[in-house]
Structure 1
């Protein structure tokens, strides 16, 4: 009877710990990246084979992924498939998480919003690195080096033997913009040759020369480009390849000239407009001048046995000393793809939790009843002994 009492007591302890685990699952049902766990019980036996009740064998992490939810924040990331994000603190202690609730901190590092631990990227060598965008917040200015002249000049327009192209915006080495004007005048002694001069917005001459076309209307070799100097830098005005109609050309006659200028390169300082992560976890930068560049790549960790991970606070996990993680790149081999602008929700299923609560409640009631009956039998025994 005494053993029955203690067996019932062990059941109360075991079921109460199981209820603690269920309550933790339910309380984190809205925690991004949280993975619920299940409690497992074991029987306790003596050396003679007698049953000594039950105890909690431990808990096991549920590896089923949660549903993705769109947030609109491009630094929020979800993993579609296998893998965990890798977080490191200043002491290089490593944690793993499915919660991709990230942000860029004041120093340019990609960090976990809750813990401020740095999100690890992966170098070409396979080593873990920090992801920092500080040097990608802007692009340095680029001087204009080439302007393409596209369109036609009419050899014998009715009254139009000159052509002006205004407001050609170019950039110097400091990123400052300059508006150029290109004046073309048909030479009186040659209907296939044009004098060209380039001036800035103040009317200062930057360069001049002669542009000529062959009988077929294509630019003539040696007369198909013009170089001008702007604040010490050379800018080449290209009229096209001799024998080709790829850029400028001359026609026999026409109502007007259509020649225009296309600035090929050069830009001012360009600020970062947006960043996003592609499915391979590579940072994609878009700048105010429309230029796009790529940055670091996220690292993912995979484990031989996910259920052996040790749960920590803030939806983080540690790897036991006996298990080494494998690091890799998203969308490569067994590793999942990255969904930018999404968060993975908790994988807690309320239906399952409520079912577990009912089972725990019944077990707790039964264990309590066993203790009550054992106590009543012991009390009856004592009373009988006193009566004798």
Structure 2
């Protein structure tokens, strides 16, 4: 065999080896793609999970042979296979899921929850929250959910200082209804019994009020305690069926054993005095007994509301939301959480303000995996892998034929 022919056969072998290399790159890259699709499908029920898609890129060889003319429609490069540029995360909102848990939240709009894991601040759309045994708000992964204080500083949300509601002495009792001005013989006095009033220790010290009709819209009010002892006697005046604007407030001094004395204001503004039957009754009381925490909820603006057995509600903290200029500022680290890339900026705020979305209580965001799309991608990865394997087997057959030609 001539040297020229041997050289030609050797060159063809090299091209066949390149084809095997190209086919191998296809196998490896489509295997990565299959892994990405498989991970998406495996997390179809993971709250807050964001699906990803592998990005393919061609490998191109300019070649070392003669160059084609500039105006030629042909290219020198033959290609050297395919590679991956990594996966691209899809940040579209996941499916809204109703849970019935008042602590679960779904962000309707922009924003991520800020959570702390091992001292590092991470970001997530997964809103399945609960209070742990220490009274700290955490998610299902055990990450501490962060709030935002008045100084725009991230802080944990704790119920440690909200276990009980202290008692409050009554300051004002408001009344509603009508006080009849009709006089009879003998006169019938109006009376309101057992009005709940609380002393400085939060102990109920009910009082009763009786109204003697003096005629002409004038009444004498007498306040007595539970032991029927008189606490105060004062005048109440009406003009044209309405409380006289010059009428000053009526105040009852409430003194109980073991508690400081308190002055209770009796507010009759808005009541009437007509010939109708007396319907006078207490309408509001700003005092209350001590209470224990009974429930905790989160409002649409992220405010944590603590409810007590005495009917009181206190705002404990407000959840922080984070927003980024671009999705590329985040990198996936697992547990439905993302870390901020170095050099990226983050903006913190509250739900319902600026560009941040509102929160929906009793709901959470599920995975955004589209099963139809993923099964389509699954077929594409399978076919790409199959085609690459055929390239390798075909190139191998051609190399074998070249070896056989050399042998002959």
Give the TM bin, normalised by the shorter chain.
Answer: 0.7 to 0.9
1:358 alignment partner, SS class: helix
Contact 1:60 1:308 in 2 (8 A): no
1:373 alignment counterpart? 394
Change (3 A) 1:384 1:69: same
1:135 alignment counterpart? 161
Give 2:229's match in structure 1, choosing from 194, 205, 209. 205
1:56 alignment counterpart? 84
Q: How does 1:265-276 map to 2 (within 5 A)?
A: 265-276=286-297
2:102 alignment counterpart? 74
Give 2:172's match in structure 1, choosing from 140, 143, 146. 146
Larger mean Cα displacement after TM superposition, 20-29 or 47-56: 47-56
Contact 2:197 2:285 in 1 (8 A): no
Give 1:21's match in structure 2, choosing from 36, 40, 55. 36
Q: How does 1:121-270 map to 2 (within 5 A)?
A: 121-148=147-174, 151-154=178-181, 156-184=183-211, 192=218, 194=220, 196-200=222-226, 203=227, 205=229, 207-211=231-235, 213=237, 225-231=250-256, 232-236=260-264, 238=266, 240=268, 246-247=270-271, 249=273, 257-262=278-283, 264-270=285-291
- For structure 2, the residue ranges without an aligned partner over 5 or more in a row are 1-15, 64-76
1:39 alignment partner, SS class: strand
Tell me the CA shift for residue 338 of structure 1: 1.5
Question: RMSD of the TM alignment (CA)?
Answer: 3.0
- TM-score scaled by length of structure 1: 0.85
Contact 2:112 2:321 in 1 (8 A): yes
2:287 alignment partner, SS class: coil
- For structure 1, the residue ranges without an aligned partner over 5 or more in a row are none
Deviation sequence 1:191-247 (CA, Å, 0-9, x none)? 9553624021xx262513243547867569788625232323234353747xxxx34
- TM-score scaled by length of structure 2: 0.81
Change (3 A) 1:58 1:259: closer
Contact 1:147 1:235 in 2 (8 A): no
CA distance in 1, matches of 2:404, 2:151: 80
Change (3 A) 1:132 1:4: same
CA distance in 2, matches of 1:220, 1:82: 53
How many pairs are equivalent?
Answer: 375
Change (3 A) 1:299 1:234: closer
